[in-house]
Amino acid sequence: MSKKHNFSAGPCILPQEVFQKSAEAILDFNGSGLSLLEISHRSKDFVAVMDEARAIVKRLMKLGDDYEVLYLGGGASLQFAMVPFNLMKTGNGKAAYTDTGTWAAGAIKEGKKLGTVDVVGSSKEDNYSFIPKKYTVGSDYDYFHCTSNNTIYGTQMREFPKVNTLLVCDMSSDIFSRVIDFSQFDLIYAGAQKNMGPAGATLVVVKKEILGKTGRDIPSMLDYSLHIAKESMYNTPPVFPVYASLLTLQHLDKNGGIAAAEVQNEAKAKLLYDEIDRNALFETFCNGEDRSLMNATFKLLDDTRKEEFDNAWKAAGISGLNGHRSVGGYRASMYNALPIESVQVLVDVMKNLN
Ligand code: PMP
């Protein structure tokens, strides 16, 4: 069976080398005669994995020792709750959020359970087709939360606002895809299952000095400070996803780091968007300047061509192109590991439809 051109939105394509090395570690980890799946998370070999998985994130992001890195369970969705638990003050806590899609709205919902949430920018009324930009966030807020890339709708923040409070970002679907000054953020989180690895681990990068200021007795498993004190081993961590994430980040590092990935990602997105814009049969869902380099959402203008198009991309070995059920149409997710050749195959299918 030949490898598919995998445009899945996540879990998604990872470097082939990561699949290979993960498979080897499951059979025999480091030549130990034991599987990665059967050793203690407290074993010397796994502690080394966790240490390096935490360290490489700081190296790739060019962050200093004022930041801590955690790998937690619970998905990015648990972070929707952990952020307010750790940052929203008790009593009259108040946070600002932008509402830019389904996941942002999920974060807002959890924030509201612990304090006041003001939505300072929203594109909800316009089907989340753009990134709101003209807003200010004052120092009376405990933090500001945004979503860097809206996986379902296909919009992406190009710039991050200067706010007078803590800057928190859900980077689940574009982390490590482009060069950013990561030091502008106080807290970054991301489910691993796009650019970082398989599902099951969630990355949290947090500036230590912002913690411990809410006046709240935080449940242990939700307390960043406790996870930091235990070096991301307060309980049994998601051992395999952490290992595969380490392999994914090592692969990124070896291949030129974030800067090289960005060049590739821009080339892939340009190739596809140029075809969508050129081809009279297709149209994107989003505003030009806010289109995501990771998830391109588009539709056929003439629905009677749907069967023909679907058959053509499937015959070309493409997988995972259907849009999210709440948006419809198509979504081509072009994460770091997707080769530009796969995008070319899709573009050729679109060209041939004319
Ligand atoms: N935020 C974003 C931007 C996402 O794309 C997703 C899921 N794809 C989530 C949050 C939720 O992540 P999880 O399923 O890991 O909870």
The pLDDT tens digits of the residues spanning 245-298 come to 999 999 999 999 999 999 999 999 999 999 999 999 999 999 889 999 999 999
Query: Is 354's pLDDT higher than 90?
Result: no
Looking at the CA of residue 106, tell me the nearest atom of ligand 1.
10
Sign of CA dihedral 343, 349, 351, 354: negative
Residue 152 makes CB contacts below 8 A (sequence gap 6+) with: 9, 101, 102, 103, 128, 295, 324, 326, 327, 331
For CATH 3.90.1150.10, the residue range(s) in the chain are: 258-352
Whether 244 contacts 197, CB under 8 Å: yes
Assign domain 258-352 one CATH number from 3.10.105.10, 3.40.50.11540, 3.90.1150.10, 3.20.20.70: 3.90.1150.10
Average pLDDT for 45-71: 98
∠ CA 254-199-298 to the nearest 5 degrees? 85
Report pLDDT digits (tens) over 188-245.
999 999 999 999 999 999 999 999 999 999 999 999 999 999 999 999 999 999 999 9
Query: Is 1's pLDDT higher than 80?
Result: no
Catalytic site residue from 99, 142, 170, 174? 170
**For position 151, what pLDDT does the model report?**
98
Give the annotated binding-site residues for pyridoxal 5'-phosphate.
Answer: 76-77, 103, 151, 170, 193, 235-236
Q: How far is the CA of 320 from the centre of ligand 1 (A)?
A: 17
Looking at the CA of residue 151, tell me the nearest atom of ligand 1.
5
Q: How far is the CA of 1 from the centre of ligand 1 (A)?
A: 30
**For position 2, what pLDDT does the model report?**
84
pTM: 0.98
Assign domain 16-254 one CATH number from 3.90.1150.10, 3.30.365.10, 3.50.4.10, 3.40.640.10: 3.40.640.10
Catalytic site residue from 21, 99, 103, 268? 103
How high does pLDDT run on average in the chain? Answer: 97
For CATH 3.40.640.10, the residue range(s) in the chain are: 16-254
Report pLDDT digits (tens) over 74-122.
999 999 999 999 999 999 999 999 999 999 999 999 999 999 999 999 9
